[in-house]
Structure 1
Amino acid sequence: AMNLQRKIGKLLSVIGDHKRFAMAVATHDVPRIHQLVKTAIENNASPREIVRRIENSMAGLMKTCSYEAKDFDLGLLCWQLGGPKLVYALQRAGVSPALSTIQQHAIKCNVTISIGRPKAVDIQQNIQKFWGTRSAGFGQTFGHSLLIDEINLEECGRYFPASNIIVGLCREHAHTVDPYITSIKAVRDVGKAIHSGECHLGKEATVAAIGRFSKDNYHISPVILSPTCKTETAEQSKIWIQNILAQWKNSEDGEKKWGSIWSVASDGDATRRKAFHLLLMVTELSPNEPLWDELGDLRLLNLQTGPSNVTMDFDFKHLFKRRSNLIRSPEGTLIAMTLLTCDTVSKELSRLEDLSPKEIEALIDPADHQNVPKAVRLLQHILEVKKLPTIGLSPGELKSRKAITILSTILEAVISPFVQPTWSLSQQLESLALASHLILYGMYKHGTAFISGQLYHDLQSMVKNAYFCVAKQRLQDPKA
């Protein structure tokens, strides 16, 4: 009886410790409690000891210093976006490592900045830095996309100690000065050239980066960082884009290790669009190539490509934004012999019950033309209009509704492949094909009163590139 009583007492004590643990977790906001409990379990701590550690943590008598890789990644992101003060605040709250710890665990790769025109050696160094350090995936290769865009710069020169050189000069005119700091006179000569207009400080920096088509490790890595004064010609742009493709193809840390570049993508910059044409619309896909078996029988598909069948692409978010800006513009868009202006669209949107006049005004406001999420919301609300009943509408309103319905069908075909995660690849391609044919008909019927020639070109190029990339993936990995 004594032994049984002792066992029951011990069991009740253990049950009590578990209850205390459950109450401690449920009632106390303990920073990083999962790490605290994990560390305690690894140390074979009892429930009573775990509760004691939780209470000590609440009292500020101990801190959990065990961090995982994701904690350092999150801390690095906070540092880059919010600066050291944000990291310090999070560290004091016990939810982030200290800045010095984050810096110790961060992988440091400094981009080689191009002084003047991007050179082969700059591209080679960046490929080696960012791609040479990655672990190869058991011989598996992937398709890649070369992505090009600009970022804003503070217009000022900076000293780059690694090369003893002045950076920040535009690539178009940097060759007119000697950027190396060999004396005070050399620095003053650069200053005189800037003030005279012979050379300029970069207004923006062109960033070219490569990312792979993969479900993981698809983050991009830069291969070019080059300031520009925006006076570069398409012919000059073509040279360094071609150079990137060549360096990736020949590099031991590029195509030979990871796979080829399938597309070159950008926004709707006019100069770059022309450069793409000079480089990526030069050869017709040959019937002797394996890609022909996948694409050759698709009627109306443009089969012009660049070296190694590289195709051009344009960012779909920019295309959504530009299409919504066209809808917002006072000039409007001509569809089915009906001019849809921003006033017409506003009137149709006002029939939606879930939109207030203030919300409609914000969606139609042309001043906020860079807001991509708002552009997508506008396009999605237009899709809802075609579902509204037509009973009671006047002949003029019925005509506008018909045009809105056609516009909605086009927008749905363009947008859905990018916002419907449950769609199959076949559904996405069918939708893009529908969009391509509808846009072609609209352009044939109304010309640039329907959409601008540039937007038409970029939309069709996006659809074409999607088909080419899917075909290349089928050839590379038929089971994918």
Structure 2
Amino acid sequence: MAWSLAKLLEMMEAACKQMYSPCNYNDMELKLATAIYIISGNAALHALHNSVFAFPSCNTITHQIQEFQLHITVDKPQMINILDNIKTMFSYAPPGMKKVGITLSMDEITSDGRLCYLTESDEIAGLCEHTKYHIPSLRMGKNITIAHAICTAVKEEKIHIGQEIFFLESLDINGLNLYTGPNNEVQDLNYKHIFKSILVDCVVINKSLLALWFERLTHVDWSENPIFALLNLDADTLSEHIHALLSPKDAQDVPRAIKLLSLTADICNLDSSDFDPSELTTHHALCVFGVDLGTGL
């Protein structure tokens, strides 16, 4: 449990007043809590932790559920830690494999803004990269001089507790995906994150355009409840149903996806006798797109 001295004193006083009961869990209790966390999730374990059974909390079993125990480097990268982490992460790889490139993808990675003590290297971790300019070493040693120096530097705002995980330099490694943006951002290879619209006959087809033309369709059950749809088919409800169809909460909802494709194909059946030239051009592009989708169905 990573507590500060003030927090430790507070919990000791609470234990003396019988307001806090520390538990010394054995190995079987830790394994049982880990199994409950894996099978039933965080909510079930949290409920059992606050019940009369007093199961170990999620923080207590964190060490048990970590798949890899990696070494942290708080200063300049150390080769011994790098080699140890490589062995930990890729120990499962069979020998004799050919050399391949690996692309590391990052998306909104943040960390808790707090310090921690590394018993393996006797160092304090969790500070920002500018610490090396103000504090030469983060090794504790035999006294708490370094702890006082860190506390003073943080209060004077010379350094701060780090909250982001980032790379100092981008590596120009041949063979990897080097098509990056201005901030060294690599394109997402998931097609749903790449294609935002489709161009057919100089007409951009996207969600907004489909929503406008879906409103022209008649005799369509937009709701999961047909009776409710017939009794409450107003403009606001129709817009909500179309929005739910185009932006579903469950991306794996196959019936809803089939309904979306079918309605797109049904746009071809609209009466175009009263359309202006601009609407005719758009309708023709939607028909080409709809026929393509209808053929796939």
Class of the TM-score when normalised by the shorter of the 2 chains: 0.5 to 0.7
1:103–1:340 distance in 2 versus 1, CA, 3 Å: closer
Q: Of 238, 251, 261, which residue of structure 2 is paired with 1:373?
A: 251
Q: Which runs of 5+ in 2 are unaligned?
A: 1-31, 223-237
After TM superposition, the structure 1 = structure 2 runs for residues 319-330 of structure 1, keeping only pairs within 5 Å, are 319-321=191-193, 323=195, 326=196
User: Residue 238 of structure 1 corresponds to which residue in structure 2?
Assistant: 171
Amino acid across the alignment from 1:111? L
Deviations 1:325-369 (A, max 9, x none): x56xxxxx865333556542312344493545323234667xx9x
Residues 339, 112 of structure 1: alpha-carbon distance in 2 compared, 3 angstrom cutoff:
same
Query: 165, 174, 179: which is aligned to 2:123?
Result: 165
Q: CA RMSD in A?
A: 5.4
Aligned residue for 1:219?
none
3-state SS, counterpart of residue 213 of structure 2: helix
Q: What displacement does 1:390 show?
A: 1.9
Whole-angstrom distance in 2 between the partners of 1:397 and 1:405? 12
Task: Give the strand-richer structure, 1 or 2.
Answer: 1
CA distance in 2, matches of 1:203, 1:144: 29
When normalised by structure 2's length, the TM-score is 0.53
Taking the aligned partners of 1:198 and 1:184, their CA distance within structure 2 comes to 19
In the alignment, the residues of structure 2 paired with residue 121 and residue 405 of structure 1 have an alpha-carbon distance, to the nearest angstrom, of 63
Partners of 2:78 and 2:210 lie apart in 1 by 49
1:148 aligns with 2:105: yes
Q: Is the 8 A contact 2:113 2:161 kept in 1?
A: yes
Measure, in 2, the Cα distance between the counterparts of 1:104 and 1:204.
Answer: 22
- 1:314 and 2:202 are equivalent in the alignment: no
Q: CA deviation at 1:157?
A: 2.1
The 5-angstrom pairing of residues 158-197 of structure 1 reads 158-171=116-129, 173-176=130-133, 177=135, 178-182=137-141, 183-195=143-155
Write the distance in 2 (CA, Å) between the matches of 1:376 and 1:116. 50
- Over 3 Å counting, the alpha-carbon distance change for 1:168 and 1:103 in structure 2 is closer
Residue matched to 2:227: none
Specify the SS of the correspondent of 1:180: coil
Query: Which sections of structure 1, spanning at least 5 residues, go unmatched?
Result: 1-70, 93-98, 206-227, 246-261, 277-312, 328-332, 417-480
How many Å separate the matches in 2 of 1:74 and 1:166? 32
Cα 1:103–1:113 change in 2 (3 A) is: closer
Q: Which residue of 2 aligns with 1:271?
A: 183
The yes-or-no answer on 1:390 pairing with 2:268 is: yes
Taking the TM superposition and a 5 Å limit, the aligned residue runs for 1:207-226 are none
Question: Is the aligned partner of 1:400 residue 2:286?
Answer: no
| Residues 267 and 287, structure 2, Cα contact 8 Å, conserved in 1 | no
8 A Cα contact 1:146 1:265, kept in partner: no
Q: Does 1:348 find its partner at 2:213?
A: yes
- 1:141-169 Cα shifts (integer Å, max 9, x gaps): 48674433243322222223332222222
SS of the aligned residue for 1:202 comes to coil
Q: d(CA) in 2 for partners of 1:410 and 1:191?
A: 65
Instruction: Report the Cα distance in structure 2 between the residues aligned to 1:408 and 1:200, rounded to whole angstroms.
Output: 56
Question: Counterpart of 2:162 in structure 1: which amino acid?
Answer: G
* Equivalences, count: 236
Contact 2:73 2:81 in 1 (8 A): yes
Residue matched to 2:226: none
The structure whose RCO (Cα within 8 Å, separation 6+) is larger is: 1
Aligned match of 2:202: 337
Higher helix share: 1
Residue 184 (structure 1) shift:
3.5
Contact residue 116 and residue 125 of structure 2 kept, 8 A: yes
Identity between Structure 1 and Structure 2 (%): 15
Q: Which residue of 2 aligns with 1:77?
A: 38
Q: Is the 8 A contact 2:267 2:290 kept in 1?
A: no
Provide the rounded CA distance (Å) in 2 between the counterparts of 1:197 and 1:405: 63
Contact 2:117 2:123 in 1 (8 A): yes
Amino acid across the alignment from 2:149: D
Task: Write the letter of the residue equivalent to 2:241.
Answer: E
